[in-house]
Amino acid sequence: MKKTIRLGSVFSGIGAPEQALNKLGCDTQIVFACDNGEIEIKTPVDEINKIIKKLSLKEANKKIKEIYASTKKINYMKISYTANYKVKEDDWFEDIRFLDGKPYKGKIDMLIGGSPCQSFSIIGKRAGLEDTRGTLFFEYARLVKQCQPKVFIYENVPGILTHDKGNTWKVIKSVFNSLGYKLYSEILNAKDYGIPQDRKRLFVIGFKDHNVNFSFPKKIELKTEMKDYLEKNVDVKHYLGKKGFEFVTNPKYRNRARINPKIIQTQKANQQFNWNGDFVFEPLSKVKNNKEIMSRSYVSTWNGQKGVIRQLSYRECLRLMGFSDSFKIVVPNVPAYRQAGNSIVVDVLENIFKEIFKVVKF
């Protein structure tokens, strides 16, 4: 039977959980989604809180949108998200700090999000929800408390385990403990779940029902490599000129730029720029009849073979994050690469969901 999932999505980005649920054939109802598109606003938080204090959820949402619109910056996350998933304007929130979860109590099955790995240094050492105030982690925990979802999934970089000699994690863990959920946490690597990307991420999963016995998904043998995710033709703008070719083939920069790896390194927000990331070598025999490529790109030797080198296209980066080709690309190159690099690997989430579905009814 088709599962209906009422989803609360925060730090939504390009909606990796939404993709995963769709791929699993679920009927996903997005109760709310929220992403500020990495835009900074100048109005102080306290001042905004004073303004919206007496407003309804809908009016407050409108007010926050006005404040963001006054920056004249474009929220590319919203553009990508709303082009790909069904969410009503009133259910889209710009900023988690001003999203009141109380009206959603009991109306959400899963709350999912990974706060940006901003500095956690504001977190104190006394380990309470109040001590994390001011961090986006606090806002996430507050929403769990207010919405009371059946399950929550929190994702972040493994570095939070060792940040500030482990103190940060101690605080985060005790905040999670204070929410009254049964907790599981584990570091999972995308390459163990079917995607050739070496991407380790920490997942914290909380269950409202303490009788649940959850296990993280078992590792799967990797059967694909980067070349299986490449497009037949990519735009000529992705091909490198002389400087780029010489940079990425220089052994000195092997940690920054790699050519034709089987497993790509962790995609990052700034991937594919300044010759960062993973690159594709194409032998001359493949491209020599393409006038456009031949006129734009630098031909030289790599590994004893003559050819050209190109970046991964945005579509290829998305594929290597587990996104299907039905995902619509509607933003320019720079935000597009950022969005892919910031996302969660869809296949990892699919495998997590399958395990959750074994132990929780929706």
Ligand X SMILES: C[S@@+](CC[C@H](N)C(=O)[O-])C[C@H]1O[C@@H](n2cnc3c(N)ncnc32)[C@H](O)[C@@H]1O
**Nearest residue (CB) to ligand X, 181 versus 203:** 203
Instruction: Work out how close the CB of 284 gets to ligand X at its nearest, in angstroms, rounded to a whole number.
Output: 37
Cα(114)–Cα(15) distance, integer angstroms: 11
**Nearest residue (CB) to ligand X, 245 versus 327:** 327
How many residues of this chain interact with ligand X, rule: CB under 6 A? Answer: 20
Does residue 13 touch ligand X according to CB under 6 A? Answer: yes
Instruction: Work out how close the CB of 315 gets to ligand X at its nearest, in angstroms, rounded to a whole number.
Output: 16
**Which H or E element spans position 61?**
helix 57-69
User: Binding string to ligand X for residues 95 to 134, with x set by CB under 6 A, is what?
Assistant: xxx----------------x-x------------------
Q: 289: which 2 tokens? A: 């009849």
Q: Is residue 31 a contact partner of residue 107, using CB atoms and an 8 Å limit?
A: yes
Cα(167)–Cα(223) distance, integer angstroms: 39
Instruction: Work out how close the CB of 341 gets to ligand X at its nearest, in angstroms, rounded to a whole number.
Output: 9
Return the residue of 342, 347, 351, 352 that touches ligand X, per CB under 6 A. 342
Beta pairing, strands 300-302 & 305-311: antiparallel
Does residue 308 touch ligand X according to CB under 6 A? Answer: no
Q: Is residue 344 a contact partner of residue 201, using CB atoms and an 8 Å limit?
A: yes
**Nearest residue (CB) to ligand X, 198 versus 235:** 198
**Nearest residue (CB) to ligand X, 84 versus 249:** 84
**Nearest residue (CB) to ligand X, 33 versus 240:** 33
Cα(234)–Cα(272) distance, integer angstroms: 14
Return the residue of 293, 344, 345, 348 that touches ligand X, per CB under 6 A. 344
Does residue 14 touch ligand X according to CB under 6 A? Answer: yes
In sequence order, which residues have a C-beta less than 8 Å from that of residue 161 and are 6 or more positions away?
169, 187, 202
Does residue 204 touch ligand X according to CB under 6 A? Answer: no
Cα(27)–Cα(21) distance, integer angstroms: 8
Does residue 343 touch ligand X according to CB under 6 A? Answer: yes
Active site residues: 117
Cα(114)–Cα(136) distance, integer angstroms: 10
Instruction: Work out how close the CB of 174 gets to ligand X at its nearest, in angstroms, rounded to a whole number.
Output: 23
Piece in contact with ligand X (CB under 6 A), picked from 13-21, 176-184, 202-210, 278-286 = 13-21
Return the residue of 5, 6, 11, 189 that touches ligand X, per CB under 6 A. 11
Does residue 350 touch ligand X according to CB under 6 A? Answer: no
Cα(311)–Cα(51) distance, integer angstroms: 47
**Nearest residue (CB) to ligand X, 16 versus 352:** 16
**Nearest residue (CB) to ligand X, 40 versus 221:** 40
As a whole number of Å, the CA-based R_g of the chain is 22
Using CB under 6 A as the binding rule, the residues of this chain from 28 to 87 that contact ligand X are: 34-38, 77
Cα(183)–Cα(206) distance, integer angstroms: 5
Encoded amino acid at 294, one letter = M
Cα(295)–Cα(10) distance, integer angstroms: 45
**Which H or E element spans position 5?**
strand 4-10
Piece in contact with ligand X (CB under 6 A), picked from 14-22, 179-187, 308-316, 328-336 = 14-22
Instruction: Residue 8: name the closest of 124, 162, 145 by CA.
Output: 145
Residue 234 sits at φ, ψ, to 5 deg, of -120, 160
Instruction: Work out how close the CB of 77 gets to ligand X at its nearest, in angstroms, rounded to a whole number.
Output: 5
Piece in contact with ligand X (CB under 6 A), picked from 62-70, 92-100, 296-304, 309-317 = 92-100
Q: 54: which 2 tokens? A: 């007496």
Binding site for ligand X (CB under 6 A): 11, 13-16, 34-38, 77, 95-97, 114, 116, 136, 342-344
